[in-house]
Amino acid sequence: MTNKELADTFAAIASLLEIKGEVIYKILAYRRAAETLAEYGRDVTEVWREGGPKGLREIPGVGEAISEKIDELLRTGKLGFLERLKTEVPYSLIDLLKVPGVGPKKVAMFWKQRDVTTLDELKAAALAGKLRDLPGMAEKSEAKILEGIESLSRRSGRTPLGQALPVAREMLALLRGVKGVVAAETAGSLRRMKSTVGDIDLLVASADAEPVMRAFVSQPTVARVLGQGAVKSSVEFNNGLRAQLWVHPPERFGTALQYATGSKEHNVRLRERALSKNLSLSEHALTKNNGKEILCATEEEVYAALGLPYIPPELREDRGEVQAALKGELPKLIEVADVRADLHSHSTWSDGRASIRGMAEAARARGLRVLAVTDHSQSLGVTGGLTPERLREQRREIDKVQRQLGDSILLLQGAEVEIKADGQLDYDDVVLASLDIVVASLHTSLRQPRDKVTARLIHAIRNPHVDIIGHPTGQLIPEREGADLDMDVVLAAAAESGVALEINAHPMRLDLDDVYSRRAAQMGIPLAINTDAHHPADFAFLDYGVAVARRGWVTASQVINSWPTDRLRGWLAGRGQGRPTATEAPMAAEAPRRTSATSKKKSAAKKNAVIRKKTTVKQRKSR
């Protein structure tokens, strides 16, 4: 059994026990075991073969009871405890837990009071109005369940980019170290950096495929070799991911990589271009009418032979990139090195896992010049959100850390302010005005009707204290679809107000997506690429956010946290004062900084329209 199969077994036990109503400590024990096995770096089966049940106890979090159950699973392929549990609780009830908003207590209620044990039965019961009279249920509840079941059908089963890319990078590092390897790259949707991918596709340039294949299939994390040939092999890893490897002669690697990267539609455009130049294009070569081949060792050579500049992989979706290349109008896409600030991060003051200083030092180590600490606001209780009183305490802590770090990085105090179910923001205008930066986000009531949830977001966009709309749809990949927003209305309001829209770089969010990021940039709406970091290591998520932006044809000038610090501060200072759009924003750098905190004592109207906020920023030394 793979690590994933073992983890899935213990996760199923935890879910069945929760539906049964077992004591919480037992449920948590199995849940922790599932998480440990899923994340364990070695093949658990190998650990078991080497040391038996006692050897399994060396795995963190695996005690005697869990190790005995793993031993039984690996010896027999079955687990008596789970088989007995299935006689008490229908195993199919686990599927009901996949429906958004349906937890173990509701599943138990549907099963015990309406004899519902499958998704089909749940759908039929909701359609027939048989659930609305149950405790805590209503007609709207049934509608939400039906919407949730429908959303399950739209899940692709593909692997999130954030899971696939780290594995692929480890394999590339291994393959590039094999003797004779000239180049090794990812391909397919992974190289185009789509938010979800199928299998991991890898291409290697080498004149000798045998040592490459041997290194690939003998990786310690490989659970099964699905196929092994002279130039192609396929494997499955302990975590359930699958990968395929092709080896090509170095002189043909360019056409092979271009072909395998895709997309299919982009490749059709290139073949059409080849035909117009009396050539045919395949994964092996460009071929003239007389049969003579043009070999390309690099992709640049492929595009040059077709009379085109190099088209970055992220753009290869047949969204006008070939036409733009022919006209010389391809954008200079933003790069990770262009991003100078992170304007959305969390610390231990709410649900982060590092102190303000720890986060600031990590941001500085990655070359960032500005970090906004934007802990959650008060109503999002599960995150330990900050009351206004705690915000004032945090301000003192930020100022202290700023003095300690000096001019090496600029710290801003902000907040990720909840847009509540009624559309109101979680802090009043006085509190918002005291912050250096405000990120307003949707976290709750995402399943509201389109007009209502859109109106909530519009209300935040039009608030002059709000600088950035965080992860606009609230999606979580792959578990949760985003809110059903009317994005045409949202984008129009953002363009009018000048608020920035966030591309949230967390691999479970990637929100805005590439399509709407491109539209926003075309409309002159400022964008911000933020990691939403809750831990120092999370600043590495920036790669994912930049990838989304690149897929959206976004340039550095369109991203506010790629601007020089003075320009960014000028933009923040100008918010609510008829601030220029992103395309006009170079003038914002010349905006005079407000110098006196006493101006905040002016009338509320004048403060909201002219002064707004950012008291500490305006008191700090110029950097």
What separation in angstroms does the CA of 212 have from each of 57, 171, 191, 419, 597? 35, 11, 20, 53, 65
**Is the domain of 270 the same as that of 282?**
yes
**Is the domain of 463 the same as that of 586?**
yes
How far is it, in rounded angstroms, from Cα 179 to Cα 206?
9
Helix axes 44-56, 64-76, angle to 10 degrees: 130
- Beta-carbon contacts of residue 150 (< 8 Å; ≥ 6 apart): none
Given a contact cutoff of 8 angstroms between Cβ atoms, the answer to whether 17 and 43 are in contact is no
572 lies in some domain: yes
**Is the domain of 427 the same as that of 536?**
yes
Q: Where are the beta strands (DSSP E) in 152-274?
A: 159-160, 181-186, 196-197, 200-206, 222-228, 232-237, 242-248
In tens, the pLDDT along 585-613 reads: 332 332 322 222 323 333 333 333 333 34
269, 299, 330 — which closes off a domain?
Answer: 330
**Is the domain of 20 the same as that of 77?**
yes
φ/ψ of 413, rounded to 5, equals -95, 125
153, 184, 200 — which closes off a domain?
Answer: 153
Percent of residues, the chain, with pLDDT higher than 90: 81
617 lies in some domain: no
How far is it, in rounded angstroms, from Cα 259 to Cα 262?
6
Q: Where are the beta strands (DSSP E) in 370-434?
A: 370-373, 410-418
**Is the domain of 100 the same as that of 177?**
no
Q: Provide the whole-model pTM.
A: 0.81
In tens, the pLDDT along 157-197 reads: 789 999 999 999 999 999 999 999 999 999 999 999 999 99
**What is the per-residue DSSP string for 4-67?**
HHHHHHHHHHHHHHHHHT--HHHHHHHHHHHHHHHH-SS-HHHHHHHHHHHHHTTSTT--HHHH
Burial profile 266-283: b = 16 or more Cβ within 10 angstroms, e = fewer: bbebbbebbeeeebebee
**Is the domain of 210 the same as that of 285?**
no
Q: What's the confidence (pLDDT) of residue 580?
A: 35
CB atoms within 10 A of CB 201: 21
pLDDT(451) > 90? yes
What separation in angstroms does the CA of 373 have from each of 124, 359, 460? 48, 9, 20
Q: Which domain holds residue 69?
A: 3-153
**Is the domain of 483 the same as that of 538?**
yes
pLDDT(323) > 90? yes
In tens, the pLDDT along 483-492 reads: 999 999 999 9
SS (H, E, C) 48-62: HHHHHHHHHCCCCCC
118, 138, 153 — which closes off a domain?
Answer: 153
561 lies in some domain: yes
389 lies in some domain: yes
Pairing verdict, β 341-345 and 370-373: parallel
Q: What is the CATH number of the domain that holds 233?
A: 3.30.460.10
Q: 297: which 2 tokens?
A: 């060792």
Q: 537: which 2 tokens?
A: 């290591």
Q: 370: which 2 tokens?
A: 């500005």
Q: How many domains does the chain contain in total?
A: 4
**Is the domain of 242 the same as that of 295?**
no
In tens, the pLDDT along 244-278 reads: 999 999 999 999 999 999 999 999 999 999 999 99
Cα 147 to chain centroid, rounded? 23
CA dihedral sign, ordered 605, 441, 395, 545:
negative
**Is the domain of 386 the same as that of 293?**
no
607 lies in some domain: no
Q: What's the confidence (pLDDT) of residue 360?
A: 98
Q: What is the CATH number of the domain that holds 501?
A: 3.20.20.140
* Banded pLDDT at 132 (limits 50, 70, 90): very high
In tens, the pLDDT along 518-537 reads: 999 999 999 999 999 999 99
- DSSP conformation class of 385: P
In tens, the pLDDT along 472-519 reads: 999 999 888 899 999 999 999 999 999 999 999 999 999 999 999 999
**Is the domain of 173 the same as that of 223?**
yes
608 lies in some domain: no
Q: What is the CATH number of the domain that holds 94?
A: 1.10.150.110
Higher pLDDT, 382 or 166: 166
604 lies in some domain: no
Identity at 288, one-letter amino acid code:
K
605 lies in some domain: no
Exposed (0-12), middle (13-18) or buried (19+): which is 384, by Cβ within 10 Å?
Answer: middle
Exposed (0-12), middle (13-18) or buried (19+): which is 602, by Cβ within 10 Å?
Answer: exposed
In tens, the pLDDT along 21-38 reads: 999 889 999 998 998 898
**Is the domain of 475 the same as that of 514?**
yes
Mean pLDDT computed over 38-46: 84
What separation in angstroms does the CA of 528 have from each of 26, 322, 424, 470, 516? 44, 27, 23, 9, 13
Given a contact cutoff of 8 angstroms between Cβ atoms, the answer to whether 439 and 529 are in contact is no
Q: 412: which 2 tokens?
A: 């801003």
Q: Is 551 helix (H, G, I), strand (E, B) or coil?
A: helix
**Is the domain of 9 the same as that of 146?**
yes
